């Protein structure tokens, strides 16, 4: 008997169900022995507190196109994973106990950076673990692409497309605030696809004077409106010079909901232009996965199934040079894939007239 546990952890995204389906189908169709799949509810919480259910074929019917996760998810921060809960429970010991109680041969984790760090910890504790790269931020080390990313890019691009008409009608400056606290992959790709004039990402601190100059120059040249794609983690050059403590103190006394509203206020005061902020918010995580993610997630799931059937554990299934690959968990955990300011895509965007505020 082959017993496999599976959980989805952290923020949700559009292709979690499609990926789980890929794992389930590839194992069930190719195993030489009976198989049982256990789904842990609400991420690592289910593994910690023993909340699970036996999964069968009916659970995976019709979910290729369904967003979210049939197992539910939650955030259990890695920095608190070694901290006992309010009742003094050792979370790591509890997860191991659940794993051994169910006599699992393997634990499959679908998650992003924090989830992968916890998965690597469990691997180091002796559990058989395979992970799959989930995040709309596309910031997991060791993979060129994460599932959920392309679906999110499509959603944000549509939002920018729809802003163009109202921006043109009213002659306004529009700021679209896009998810991404630490990295700008989503903002960069959606901004390019949507034809944004200015793209602001965490990796390239911006100068408000430069942004104002660009807006005023477009006015002079007859430009009626302007679109700024701004990552929620975008930071000014002035703020980038602050120490972490100083910056946290500034955020603690922030009078604006986010950096986008601060930018809007500065632009209005310096240019006299009317500025509006649009925040797509959690729509970026929602809805049905795009065709690309359905194919990509199915491929990832199939490769995870192959690793399980071969007994190869301690890996993340990733994507490199258009091929599905396995990457040692220890090489992935704790690392962040950021946008290189000197990369080809940044250079090419600048050739097209896009400004990054630098």
Catalytic option among 12, 42, 59, 137: 137
Give dist(CA 157, CA 153) in Å, integer: 6
Give dist(CA 131, CA 129) in Å, integer: 7
The answer to whether 186 and 179 have CB atoms below 8 angstroms apart is: yes
The answer to whether 202 and 180 have CB atoms below 8 angstroms apart is: yes
Which DSSP symbol is given to 125?
T
Which DSSP symbol is given to 116?
H
Q: CB burial class (10 A; 0-12, 13-18, 19+) of residue 339?
A: buried
**Side-chain-facing half-sphere of 224: CA atoms under 13 Å:** 8
User: Which residues are CB-neighbours of 123 under 8 A, at least 6 positions away?
Assistant: 129, 313, 314, 329, 330
137 in active site: yes
Give dist(CA 186, CA 38) in Å, integer: 33
Q: CA 205, 229, 343: angle at the middle one, nearest 5?
A: 55
By annotation, the residues acting in catalysis are 137
């Amino acid at each position: 008997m082959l017993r496999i546990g599976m959980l989805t952890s952290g923020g949700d995204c559009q292709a979690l169900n499609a990926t789980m389906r890929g794992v389930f189908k590839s194992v069930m169709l190719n195993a030489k022995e009976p198989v049982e799949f256990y789904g842990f509810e609400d991420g690592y919480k289910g593994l910690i507190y023993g909340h699970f259910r036996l999964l069968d074929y009916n659970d995976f019917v019709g979910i290729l196109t369904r967003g979210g996760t049939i197992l539910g998810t939650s955030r259990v921060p890695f920095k608190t994973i070694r901290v006992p809960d309010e009742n003094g429970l050792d979370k790591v010991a509890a997860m191991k106990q659940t794993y051994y109680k169910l006599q699992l041969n393997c634990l499959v984790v679908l998650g992003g950076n924090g989830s992968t760090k916890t998965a690597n910890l469990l691997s180091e504790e002796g559990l058989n673990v395979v992970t799959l790269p989930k995040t709309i931020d596309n910031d997991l080390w060791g993979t060129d692409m994460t599932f959920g990313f392309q679906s999110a890019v499509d959603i944000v691009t549509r939002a920018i497309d729809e802003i163009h008409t109202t921006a043109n009608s009213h002659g306004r400056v529009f700021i679209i605030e896009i998810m991404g606290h630490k990295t700008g992959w989503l903002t960069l790709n959606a901004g390019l696809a949507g034809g944004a004039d200015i793209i602001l990402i965490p990796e390239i601190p911006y100068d408000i004077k430069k942004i104002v100059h660009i807006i005023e120059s477009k006015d002079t040249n007859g430009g009626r409106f302007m679109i700024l794609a701004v990552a929620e983690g975008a930071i000014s050059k002035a703020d980038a010079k602050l120490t972490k403590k100083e910056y946290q103190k500034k955020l603690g006394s922030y009078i604006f909901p986010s950096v986008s509203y601060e930018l809007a206020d500065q632009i209005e005061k310096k240019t006299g232009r009317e500025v509006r902020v649009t925040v797509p918010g959690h729509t970026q995580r929602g809805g049905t996965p795009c065709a690309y993610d359905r194919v990509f997630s199915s491929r990832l799931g199939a490769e995870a199934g192959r690793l399980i059937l071969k007994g190869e554990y301690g890996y993340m299934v990733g994507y490199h040079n258009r091929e599905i690959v396995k990457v040692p968990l220890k090489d992935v955990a704790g690392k962040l894939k950021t946008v290189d300011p000197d990369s080809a895509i940044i250079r090419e965007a600048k050739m097209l007239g896009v400004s990054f505020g630098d």
